[in-house]
Amino acid sequence: AMLFSFVERMGIEFHGFSAGQIASVLLVTAIVNLVPGFVAMQLQNRLAPPTVMMLGPSLQIGFALLMVSVGLFPAYFIAVAIYPFLIVFTHVFAFGFFAEREPSGRAVAATPAMNMMGSAIGPILGGVLVQQFGYQSLAVGALVVGGTAVVCALQVARRVRGGRVATTA
């Protein structure tokens, strides 16, 4: 939410793309993002959730850097169209993983609230970054948030490999 809230303004003001180009990007993004849940469902038994939980944010960081730093429309188009797909795909895997592993159900119950918090805080944080430091700072913000997610996913992967399972307190 921190970065994607500024896709339209960043494309027009920072990169100089036309409103029509940005509209085409957003249209394709809407169409592409009809499928991440279905794709995740098809791959749920083929991919390890901790791996997806590490790769998803890593790819999001890469696409964020691409969106902000590359002024070529095709690169921007691809990054914007795929970025939300990665978010939804990764969230589906994480949600399923926590639902399966956490016996109390608290993590599953808290997931919608966590998503809503991120959706609310993201644009505010992004707006502060853009106003204070410019659009390039969104890539740094994505790097910090995504890097934190990767570190957390690494910890989850280590615990899963070690055979430890969450317990209720």
Note whether 22 and 8 are within 8 A (CB): yes
Q: Is a pLDDT exceeding 70 seen at residue 145?
A: yes
State how far the Cα of 141 lies from the Cα of 124, in Å rounded to an integer.
Answer: 12
CA dihedral 48, 53, 56, 60 (to 10 degrees): -170
Q: For residue range 8-53, what is the model confidence (pLDDT) as tens digits? A: 999 999 999 999 999 999 999 999 999 998 999 899 889 999 999 9
59: closest CA among 25, 88, 83, 28?
83
79, burial (CB in 10 Å: exposed 0-12, middle 13-18, buried 19+): buried
**Model pLDDT, residue 68:** 93
Mean pLDDT of 126-155: 94
